[in-house]
Chain A
Amino acid sequence: MTDTVQTPDTFGLWTLGDPIADTKAPGGPIENKWTKRKFDAALVNPANRRKLSVIIVGTGLAGGAAAATLGEAGYHVKSFCFQDSPRRAHSIAAQGGINAAKNYKEDGDSVYRLFYDTVKGGDYRARETNVYRLAEVSANIIDQCVAQGVPFAREYGGLLDNRSFGGVQVSRTFYARGQTGQQLLIGAYQALERQVAEGTVEQYVRHEMLEVIVSGGRARGIIARDLETGEIETHLADAVVLASGGYGNVFFLSTNAMGSNVTATWRAHRKGAYFGNPCYTQIHPTCIPVSGDHQSKLTLMSESLRNDGRIWVPKRREDCDKDPRQIAEADRDYYLERIYPAFGNLVPRDIASRQAKNVCDEGRGVGPVVGDFRRGVYLDFADAIKRLGKSAVEAKYGNLFDMYARITGENPYEVPMRIYPAVHYTMGGLWVDYDLQSNIPGLFVTGEANFSDHGANRLGASALMQGLADGYFVLPNTIRDYLAKGPFDTLDANAPEVAAARTSVQERTQRLLAINGDRSVDSFHKELGHIMWEYCGMERTQEGLLKAIDLIRSLREEFWRNVRVLGSADTLNQSLEKAGRVADFLELGELMCIDALHRRESCGGHFRGESQTEDGEALRHDDQFAYVAAWEFTPEAADGIPGGGMGAPVLHKEDLTYEFIELKQRSYK
């Protein structure tokens, strides 16, 4: 094995702080921990609940489900989303399905097996206790959703159908055609709207959280901007929940929605909340490639396509602009089948993605030249059509072929599809303990916004499971232990810490509008995305990451000097909204690169050039890196650039101990 990992060097970019521990998970056998925690958590008398208020930011599966459930319990909930309705949250776009250890197929599934698969799938970088609980409550999620009327796929006998998903050997995935996320979100949304009608939940749409209020060491509220009127509002409560989703849009192009952003969690990070494993990003291999510089987002196609499609590129660069049907079989390189004969086109997501990038970087990509080279590989169904017939292929993949044809204008039954990897999900997020509470008391974080359950790589059909587990079952049980200490002292809207938070939002808004430079917000965002993709994407090296940090710093400096945001602060102003989000991405990007730089191992979807086996495969270092990296923000002495003052972050390590599962190295050869 080659292992050129060097002795730790911080390059002056970070400092090491005290280790942290998750102190909330009870001891004892893993299957009893959650029951014990629920029993030990303090209760709140039903009559007192309406005196306790909770702010929930985000209305996706994690936020919508939590708002509905806490409303049902009788707490006073304020729910916020930046979209025009809670039903738009990006959970809606999830296609595949939701895992649950129901074992309805009697094929050997169990809570323990789902737990085991999830920890292994996360490449042994997730916390055992949280993952076990996730598997444990998974079955309740399906019951709850069916009772709400979620129309899952059914068999002729009227019972629920399941399928196998993402390479696991049991059929535990529940689905609603290719729109599982939509149906689950609508279920949560309807439960939420029911509580709005009951008066337990106040709904604030087109509102964006721009600051968290911390008073007396506790999270006590938020500053939000009404995106319709521009008004800066103060909202106070006994606890704050961030369910604001992932930060994949730091890459500009991703499968995230246009509005998906890091602002809520980044603002909390700046106020002291630790950011866990920011460099853990999932890159999905089967997306429709970029067609030009105008591209605004990437569209995912189900990876089930790899079951029958064969992936290839031309052997010779000069063939890359030929009609693929004219390229002889002998001149094609079916590179996955060549490198991984055992798994072929079905290698895991990270390997399929990285090898696609490698062949394109070699200049053997296909499709339009974007930037300086072609970013696409063929996914060819010609053999499948020959073997199964066109109608069988159509029955299996018809809707995906239609979607591809609509977006690209090409007929995939005639010409091979082109695919390329795209950023899809971020496993990192704010650090939370077993109770999903951050290190700021009263600030809870759920769903994709927290870091907790997926380790370094997320298994298919588990994002929906985590969002709903957190929202319906985990948070409502853990937050009551905190709320039982309340109601906390009434906080005056003019208290110094509240006024300071409000003023900082107003000043930042005014500052963005006052710069009036030469470059649009999007142009900065695209440039940042390019840096992140190139140096902090599928493959990272020390050299590249150090370069990226320099590039991001100078881009951030230019942003605050040269961005052009037109319009005013007191109307709907979409450029201003975007500018605030991109300003935060410009800070997050640096932290992601620092995190990636410090983690000198290849794990999950992250290939570290300096840490590979002799035959070029990922090499993990459990002896050095079996921990969660939780980063603490450090402000730097003012340098005149608002938001430019990021000091060297402090690294707090939470050691991951595996009591129940044995660590193994992955191999697919």
Chain B
Amino acid sequence: MDLTLKIWRQAGPRDKGKLVTYQVEDISPDMSFLEMLDVLNERLNAKGEEPVAFDSDCREGICGMCGLMISGQAHGPEKTTTCQLHMRSFSDGETITIEPWRAEAFPVIRDLVVNRSAFDRIIQAGGFISVNTGSAPDAHATPVPKPNAERAFVAAECIGCGACVAACPNASGMLFMGAKVTHLSELPQGQPERMARVVSMVSTHDAEGFGGCTNIGECSKACPKGIPQDVISTLNRDLRMALSSGH
């Protein structure tokens, strides 16, 4: 396949960026999207041009490190991570625009690499159960009804890639946060801190510069793990309960 790539190049956090056009020839449809970028980078390196910086690590769709805006869609046209997207999803001669996640809370570091530490700070605000090592009761001491365990698992599948924020016109982090709140709220172990958790996480989310949720649903559609939008309802319900009970 031959492709035209328009790629966001930006030297550093304070530099101005721009789209630069590259022609790449002889791309195999069996390559993953990131392998296609590897090929481009090898060719740039051979020509003495600095390779395009982009994040990736596991390349099997689970670590959440990769994430590109591909022709306006977070992670591209398929419902998967960028690393699991393959070139057979594109056609010969196509022009593909490749940009970093765009959100105030995710500043660009270089080219396609952004800083997502705001997500870590949201988890620090309460996305955990306070239990010190060694103080746990036997695992069978607390049965968890299977439906609750299942829903907790579905929410816990979030990989923290940030596609939800990138896809949202408001750059809201509500799907990410709702997934964590739902994961912990569904479990008996999560109950003692349930109210304090949601209030603290939401206030950190807002302080980090993420936008508000207006129920558009782009987040869930873009989510490579299919986190359902109803986790946001769970979050809102918990937040209402918490605020009305004086938290």
Residues of chain A having any CB pair with chain B under 8 Å? 65, 68-69, 72, 83-90, 92-93, 102, 104, 140, 142-149, 151-160, 176-177, 179, 181-183, 186, 189-191, 193-194, 196-197, 203, 205, 228, 255, 257-259, 291-292, 294-297, 299-300, 406-409, 472-473, 476, 520, 522-523, 564, 566-567, 571-572, 574-575
Q: Which residues of B contact A155 (CB under 8 A)?
A: 146
Sorted nearest first, the 9 A-B pairs with minimum C-beta distance are A158-B143, A147-B136, A190-B128, A151-B153, A143-B136, A146-B139, A197-B124, A69-B133, A257-B57
| B53 and A190 contact, CB distance less than 8 A | no
Specify which chain A residues have a CB less than 8 angstroms from the CB of B35 in the assembled complex: 294-296
Known: A68-B133, A102-B139, A179-B62. A566 touches B50 (CB 8 A): yes
Q: Are B45 and A158 in contact (CB under 8 A)?
A: no
**17 residue pairs from A and B, CB less than 8 Å apart:** A87-B160, A102-B139, A142-B139, A149-B152, A149-B184, A190-B129, A255-B60, A258-B58, A291-B31, A296-B38, A407-B86, A409-B30, A409-B88, A566-B45, A566-B48, A572-B12, A572-B53
- In the assembled complex, the CB of A78 is this many whole angstroms from the nearest CB of chain B, namely 16
Q: How far is the CB of A475 from chain B (nearest CB, A)?
A: 11
B62→A93 contact, CB < 8 A: yes
CB-defined contacts of B119 to chain A, threshold 8 Å: 85
Contacts of A523 in B (CB 8 A): 42
Q: Smallest Cβ distance from B116 to chain A, in angstroms?
A: 6
Asked if B189 contacts A147 (CB within 8 A), the reply is yes
Which of B115, B134, B156 is within 8 Å of A186, CB to CB?
B156
Contact with A along B29-46 (1 / 0, CB 8 A): 111101110110010011
- Cβ of B55 to closest chain A Cβ, rounded Å: 7
Contact A472 B133 (CB under 8 A): yes
Known: A84-B116, A257-B57. A294 touches B129 (CB 8 A): no
CA distance A160 to B138 in the complex (A): 11
Report whether A571 and B57 are in contact in the complex, using a CB–CB cutoff of 8 Å. Answer: no
> Any chain A CB within 8 A of the CB of B208?
no
Q: Are A148 and B65 in contact (CB under 8 A)?
A: no
Given contacts A149-B183, A196-B124, A294-B35, contact A158 B145 (CB under 8 A): yes
Q: Quick check: A151 and B63 within 8 Å, CB to CB? A: no
Closest to B34 in A: A296
Q: A151-B183, A183-B156, A406-B86 are in contact. Are A575 and B62 (CB under 8 A)?
A: no
Contact A151 B125 (CB under 8 A): no
Besides A84-B65, A158-B149, 17 other CB < 8 A contacts? A88-B63, A90-B58, A93-B58, A140-B136, A145-B139, A151-B149, A191-B133, A196-B124, A197-B124, A203-B120, A228-B115, A258-B59, A294-B39, A296-B32, A296-B35, A522-B42, A566-B51
B144 sits at the interface (CB 8 A): yes
A257 to B35 CA separation, bound complex (whole angstroms): 14
How far does the alpha carbon of A572 sit from the alpha carbon of B132 in the complex, in Å?
37
- On chain A, the residues within 8 Å of B120 by CB distance are 85-87, 193, 196, 203, 205
122-158 of chain B: CB within 8 A of chain A: 123-125, 127-140, 142-146, 149, 152-153, 156-157
Chain B residues, CB < 8 A from A154: 143-144, 146, 149
Q: How far is the CA of A484 from the CA of B127 in the complex (A)?
A: 33
Say yes or no: is B187 at the interface (Cβ < 8 Å to chain A). Answer: yes
Chain B residues near A149 (CB-CB < 8 A): 129, 152, 183-184, 187, 189-190
Residue of A nearest to B180 (CB): A190
Verify A92–B32 contact, CB threshold 8 A: no
Q: Which residue of B lies closest to A191 (CB)?
A: B128
* CB within 8 Å for A190 and B58 given contacts A146-B189, A151-B183, A159-B140: no
B57 in contact with A83 (CB, 8 Å): yes
Q: What CA separation (Å) do A93 and B64 show in the bound complex?
A: 11
CB distance A572 to B109 under 8 Å?
yes
CB distance from A5 to the nearest CB of B (A): 40
CA distance A196 to B143 in the complex (A): 30
Closest to B56 in A: A258
Q: Is the CB of B84 closer than 8 A to any CB of chain A?
A: yes
A322 to B198, CA, bound (A): 59
Q: Which residues of B contact A205 (CB under 8 A)?
A: 117, 120
Assembled-state Cα–Cα distance A644/B215 (Å) = 59
Say yes or no for B11: interface residue by CB 8 A criterion: yes
B90 to chain A minimum Cβ distance, whole angstroms, is 13
| Pairwise interchain contact A575-B45, C-beta atoms closer than 8 A | yes
Q: For residue B54, which residue of chain A has the nearest CB?
A: A574
Across-interface contacts of A193 in B (CB, < 8 A): 120, 123-124, 127-128
**For the complex, is B23 an interface residue (Cβ under 8 Å from A)?**
no
Contact A259 B57 (CB under 8 A): yes
Name the residue on B nearest A564 (C-beta): B45
Residues of chain B whose beta carbon lies under 8 Å from any beta carbon of chain A: 11-12, 28-32, 34-36, 38-39, 42, 45-46, 48-51, 53, 55-60, 62-65, 80, 84, 86, 88, 109-110, 113, 115-117, 119-120, 123-125, 127-140, 142-146, 149, 152-153, 156-157, 159-160, 183-184, 187, 189-190
Known: A149-B184, A572-B53. A522 touches B38 (CB 8 A): yes
Q: Which residues of A contact B137 (CB under 8 A)?
A: 143, 147
Complex alpha-carbon distance, A191 and B134, angstroms: 13
Contact of A257 among B58, B115, B130, B132 (CB under 8 A): B58
Cα distance A179–B46 in the bound complex, in angstroms = 39
Give the contacting residue for B57; candidates A65, A86, A88, A102; CB below 8 A.
A88
Assembled-state Cα–Cα distance A196/B42 (Å): 39
B49: chain A residues at CB < 8 Å are: 566
Give the CA-CA distance A523 to B46 in the complex, in Å. 11
Most buried by A among B80, B127, B131: B131
Chain B residues within an 8 Å CB radius of A572: 12, 53, 109-110, 113
| CA A189 to CA B136, docked complex, whole Å | 17
User: Separation in Å of the A361 CB from the closest CB of chain B?
Assistant: 23
Q: Which residues does chain B contribute within 8 Å of A186, judged by CB atoms?
A: 156
Q: How far is the CA of A89 from the CA of B57 in the complex (A)?
A: 9
Contacting pair B149 A143 (CB below 8 A): no
CB distance from A102 to the nearest CB of B (A): 7
Known contacts A158-B143, A299-B60, A406-B86: does B131 contact A147 (CB below 8 Å)?
Answer: yes
Smallest beta-carbon distance B215→chain A, Å? 26
A147–B128 CA distance with the chains assembled, in angstroms: 11
Smallest Cβ-Cβ distance to B11: which chain A residue: A571
Residue on A nearest B200 in the bound complex, by CB? A197
Q: How far is the CB of A478 from chain B (nearest CB, A)?
A: 14
Residues from chain A with Cβ under 8 Å of B136 in the complex? 140, 143-144, 146-147
Contact of A177 (CB < 8 Å), options: B36, B133, B153, B190:
B153
Residues of A within 8 A of B142 (CB): 146
Taking a contact as CB atoms under 8 Å apart, the answer to whether A409 and B45 are in contact is no
Which of A69, A87, A294 neighbours the largest number of chain B CB atoms within 10 Å of its CB?
A294
Q: Which of B31, B132, B133, B146 contacts A158 (CB 8 A)?
A: B146
Tell me the complex Cα distance, A255–B63, Å. 13
Give A564 Cβ to nearest chain B Cβ, in Å. 6
Q: B149 contacts which chain A residues (CB < 8 A)?
A: 151-154, 158
- Residues on B with C-beta less than 8 A from A142 are 139
Q: Which residues does chain B contribute within 8 Å of A228, judged by CB atoms?
A: 109, 115
* Residue of B whose beta carbon sits closest to that of A157: B143
Interchain CB contact under 8 A, B139 and A160 = yes
- Per the bound structure, the CA–CA distance linking A406 and B84 in Å amounts to 7
Report how far A473 CA is from B135 CA in the complex, Å.
12
Which chain B residue has the least Cβ–Cβ distance from A472? B133
Q: How far is the CB of A419 from chain B (nearest CB, A)?
A: 16
Q: How far is the CA of A88 from the CA of B132 in the complex (A)?
A: 22
A189 to B190 Cα, complex, angstroms:
16
What residues of chain A lie closer than 8 Å to B127, measured between beta carbons? 190, 193
Instruction: Provide the residues of chain A in CB contact with B125, threshold 8 Å.
Output: 197
Query: Chain B residues near A153 (CB, 8 Å)?
Result: 149
- The listed residue (B28, B31, B55, B143) touching A84 by CB distance below 8 A is B55
Q: Kindly provide the distance from the CB of A142 to the nearest chain B CB, expressed in whole angstroms.
A: 5
Residues on B with beta carbons closer than 8 Å to the beta carbon of A297:
59-60
Partner of B62, one of A68, A83, A182, A296: A182
Is B133's CB under 8 angstroms from A194's CB? Answer: no
CB neighbours of B159 from chain A (8 A) = 182
